[in-house]
Amino acid sequence: MMTNLIEEAQRALIIGAHPDDSEFSCGGTIAKLGQQGWDVTYVVCTNGNKGSHDPAITAYRLSEIREAEQRAAAAVLGVQRIIFLRYNDGELEPTPALRAEMALYIRYFKPNALFTHDPWKHYMLHPDHRAVGFAVIEGAVSARDHLYMPGLGQIGLTVWRPQALYLWAAEQPDYTEDISATLELKLAALREHHSQIDHVEGWEQRVRQRAREQGQAAGYEAGEAFKKISL
């Protein structure tokens, strides 16, 4: 539990279902990676175009707002690039096509650390979180074995095996990253998601509380907990 993710600067790939998932779940860890010189890439699978209770907003307008918010939040954390897949919110399924797409990004960016949703989390309501979690995990298998998608190998996207997969909002977390020094950056990034948090009373206190609880188990002032799977 006391080990540290960061040994030397490497590459991380963070794959989330919606604009804001990455910041809520591992913004402190991402900020830390950025400070340590890691090359960090986001893949944001949906455009978040259903994430509003405002009866006046259209799905199209919301997708534009959320993409801009995602860019601003990622800039706070030092993320180098964002790939927007722009699938419609709430409509993702862990199809072979989505799995292949995830494998393609894993082979292309060659991450040492791969982060995504834990699809086995009990009572998780959002279907996109499950779909992305499964597609990334299954995509990691396709990415590492050369007989999957042989055409990718023939255009130079040869096999790649991340050292570890980190599942956030984990059913059974067994690894905690110390984010005591980057919790404020996480909150600053979250504040960029105006459409998601401006109307939510007490969100900041809840994020602080969760960081305290997750850190406590590992002896940190603040932490982010994951299920870590070595590949």
- Alpha-carbon distance of 32 to 203, in angstroms, equals 22
**Toward Zn ion, which CB reaches closer, 17 or 165?**
17
Q: How far is CA 63 from CA 68, 184, 197, in A?
A: 9, 27, 16
Question: Considering the complex, what minimum distance in angstroms separates the CB of residue 130 from Zn ion?
Answer: 11
Question: Considering the complex, what minimum distance in angstroms separates the CB of residue 44 from Zn ion?
Answer: 10
Do 66 and 47 touch, CB atoms closer than 8 A?
yes
| 9-17, 35-43, 68-76, 171-179 -> range binding Zn ion (CB under 5 A) | 9-17
Task: Show the site string, 161-200: x = touches Zn ion by CB under 5 A, - = not.
Answer: ----------------------------------------
**Toward Zn ion, which CB reaches closer, 121 or 161?**
121
Beta bridge partners of residue 177, listed in sequence order: 224
**Toward Zn ion, which CB reaches closer, 17 or 187?**
17
- Alpha-carbon distance of 219 to 231, in angstroms, equals 27
Question: Considering the complex, what minimum distance in angstroms separates the CB of residue 41 from Zn ion?
Answer: 18
Q: How far is CA 101 from CA 82, 140, 152, in A?
A: 15, 10, 11
Residues 18-77 that bind Zn ion (CB under 5 A): 18, 21
- Alpha-carbon distance of 87 to 15, in angstroms, equals 13
Instruction: Note whether 17 binds Zn ion by CB under 5 A.
Output: yes
Chain residue whose CB lies nearest Zn ion: 18
Question: Considering the complex, what minimum distance in angstroms separates the CB of residue 21 from Zn ion?
Answer: 4
3-state secondary structure 170-223: CCCCCEEEECCCCHHHHHHHHHCCHHHHCCCCCHHHHHHHHHHHHHHCCCCCCE
Question: Considering the complex, what minimum distance in angstroms separates the CB of residue 3 from Zn ion?
Answer: 28
Question: Considering the complex, what minimum distance in angstroms separates the CB of residue 105 from Zn ion?
Answer: 18
CB atoms within 10 A of CB 32: 25
**Toward Zn ion, which CB reaches closer, 18 or 107?**
18
| 12-20, 79-87, 153-161, 177-185 -> range binding Zn ion (CB under 5 A) | 12-20
User: Going along 47-169, which residue ranges are E strands?
Assistant: 81-87, 113-117, 164-168
**Toward Zn ion, which CB reaches closer, 143 or 225?**
225
| Tokens 């997969």 sit on residue | 165
**Toward Zn ion, which CB reaches closer, 15 or 17?**
17
| Residue ranges in contact with Zn ion by CB under 5 A | 17-18, 21
